Structure 1
Amino acid sequence: MVAVSDRERERIAAVLADAVRGAEPGEVPERLCAVAVRLLPVSGASVALCGEGIPVPLSASGPRAAELMEMQATLGDGPCLWAAETGAPVYVPDLRGGRDAVRWPVFAQQAAAVGVRAVYALPLGDRTACLGTLDLYRDVPGELAGDEVRTAQLVADVLTAALTALPLGEGDGLRPPGEEPWLSALATGHDVVHQAVGMVMAQLGVGADDALARLRAHAFAQGRTVFDEGRDVVGRRTRFDDRD
């Protein structure tokens, strides 16, 4: 592997610092997604935080990256969720062949259908305290080179530092009165899913895990995201019962 020189590391760090300079808290994830696409041979990037049973999508470099993030949240499976669960990087060089296609067959098929052939998921934090993941997507199969892996990790490290330093919301003492917490504004879909899970629990008399599984299955069967399905449940446009 080719090591990143001190000069190159300094250059990358300067690019990352420039990307977030003057940014509002809610803009930081989006800016770092954009700079990851500039620095690496990838076509898209997204960021999600670990949530209870479902990832919290924060930002994406574009519509397709956002779709892939929501796809894994809907399926409850995929390399990005695995990276969050294990706290270790997951590099998937080819979604159409080898063990990667077998490991996550449904996600692999759906991702390939929208033109994505490789996924690289890096945990934010470490094995003992994983905050979420930086997820990188590429249109062509292949491994990241050694220097590219190091660059991706540097982006993930900066993103981790930025997220842990940002005021998260209620009770942090750092937000002006009356201003909406930046994390709440970005994670509204996640909150809706949790509300929907509670309603499905009440309708079916099941536990939270089973309710979320039912919500995901119904969304997948309808070709929708779990976030869209959750909005319909909360809006009382969709109801679950024993015949569902």
Structure 2
Amino acid sequence: MTEDQRQRLRSLLAANGDGDSSAVAEICALAVAELAVSGVWVTLIAQTGTLATQQRLVRATDAIATRLEGLQFTVGEGPGLEAVVSGTAILAPDLTATASRWPAFTSGAQAAGAAAVFAFPLSLGTIRLGSLDCYRTTAGQLSSRQIAAALVLAEMTFEAVLSETAGRAHNDLGWITDIHAEVHQASGMVKYDLGITMEAALLRIRGYAYANDIPVAVVAQRIVNRELFLEEE
């Protein structure tokens, strides 16, 4: 079935492509239709252990998908990061059952309007670039055929990303417009101020954002503008 799915989806992508959109954008649009989901986003993730030290949005089909990507970055947990760490598909057909698994992400995702989330790693062997994530506004499982299609779409996304990053190291995310660039800048400033590692600085920023219910990008902006100084613990 997988090979049939691969050939069918590649044919659909070739037939539906308009030549103006990026391959990743076209794959996301195809994923919405094939998987019967409300929205899709693709994120590249560079990690140290289970911590995403860089996270960059490549494409999102709608505002809720963009918000869910930002939420995962803020709280440091969620299906996409788990998919990258584990190298396996993460299926959460009902977010009411994931409160203990991703407590911060679950509450935020539900508030954003998501009822189910699914994540598929962009991987080949030990190389893991990120994830293809989906959400639904109503709870419900993916069928076995939809899961097979999602795995093929993740494979196609991996190839599309590699084609756009030819000549770069697999963990070089600099070619993507970084919507979290100010967060990384702020992490560097907190690192210098407190004499801690970049990873610890990022955790401090995320923790402050979550504790005060402020978007991590807003916290970062305040740090960069020297309107906020995080204190030593």
- TM-score, normalised on structure 2? 0.85
Name the structure 2 match of 1:41: 36
- Secondary structure of 1:51's match? strand
Q: What is the CA–CA distance in structure 2 between the aligned matches of 1:19 and 1:200, rounded to whole Å?
A: 47
Q: What is the CA–CA distance in structure 1 between the aligned matches of 2:103 and 2:232, rounded to whole Å?
A: 29
In 2 relative to 1, CA 223–187 (structure 1 residues): closer, same or farther, beyond 3 Å?
farther
Q: Aligned match of 1:212 in 190, 193, 202?
A: 202
How far is 1:57 from its partner?
A: 1.6
Unaligned runs of 5+ in 1: 173-182
Q: Aligned match of 2:13 in 11, 16, 28?
A: 16
Letter matched to residue 46 of structure 2 = G
Is the contact between residue 19 and residue 32 of structure 1 (CA under 8 Å) also seen in structure 2?
no
How far is 1:9 from its partner?
A: 4.7
Q: Aligned match of 2:24 in 3, 25, 29?
A: 29
Q: What is the CA–CA distance in structure 1 between the aligned matches of 2:45 and 2:3, rounded to whole Å?
A: 32
Name the structure 1 match of 2:122: 124
Unaligned runs of 5+ in 2: 48-52
Letter matched to residue 153 of structure 2 = V
In 2 relative to 1, CA 193–19 (structure 1 residues): closer, same or farther, beyond 3 Å?
farther
How far is 1:134 from its partner?
A: 0.2
Please tell me whether residue 151 in structure 1 is matched to residue 149 in structure 2: yes
How far is 1:131 from its partner?
A: 0.6
Is the contact between residue 87 and residue 127 of structure 1 (CA under 8 Å) also seen in structure 2?
no
How far is 1:60 from its partner?
A: 0.5
How far is 1:110 from its partner?
A: 1.6
- Secondary structure of 1:152's match? helix
Q: What is the CA–CA distance in structure 2 between the aligned matches of 1:154 and 1:101, rounded to whole Å?
A: 29
Aligned ranges 1:1-244 → 2 under 5 Å: 3=1, 6=4, 9-20=6-17, 22-23=19-20, 27-52=22-47, 53-97=53-97, 100-126=98-124, 128-167=126-165, 184=174, 186-242=176-232
Q: What is the CA–CA distance in structure 1 between the aligned matches of 2:179 and 2:65, rounded to whole Å?
A: 16
Q: What is the CA–CA distance in structure 2 between the aligned matches of 1:23 and 1:166, rounded to whole Å?
A: 15
Report the RMSD for the aligned CA atoms in angstroms.
2.4
Q: What is the CA–CA distance in structure 2 between the aligned matches of 1:235 and 1:23, rounded to whole Å?
A: 38
Is the contact between residue 24 and residue 157 of structure 2 (CA under 8 Å) also seen in structure 1?
yes
- Secondary structure of 1:143's match? coil
How far is 1:185 from its partner?
A: 6.6
Higher share of residues assigned strand: 2
Q: What is the CA–CA distance in structure 2 between the aligned matches of 1:206 and 1:167, rounded to whole Å?
A: 32
How far is 1:239 from its partner?
A: 2.5
- Name whichever of 189-198 and 219-228 sits farther off: 219-228
Q: What is the CA–CA distance in structure 2 between the aligned matches of 1:191 and 1:92, rounded to whole Å?
A: 30
Deviations 1:156-202 (A, max 9, x none): 1111111111146xx76xxxxxxxxxx64743223322211110011
Q: What is the CA–CA distance in structure 2 between the aligned matches of 1:227 and 1:108, rounded to whole Å?
A: 20
In 2 relative to 1, CA 167–103 (structure 1 residues): closer, same or farther, beyond 3 Å?
closer
Q: What is the CA–CA distance in structure 1 between the aligned matches of 2:17 and 2:209, rounded to whole Å?
A: 36
- TM-score, normalised on structure 1? 0.82
- Name whichever of 118-127 and 231-240 sits farther off: 231-240
In 2 relative to 1, CA 5–213 (structure 1 residues): closer, same or farther, beyond 3 Å?
closer
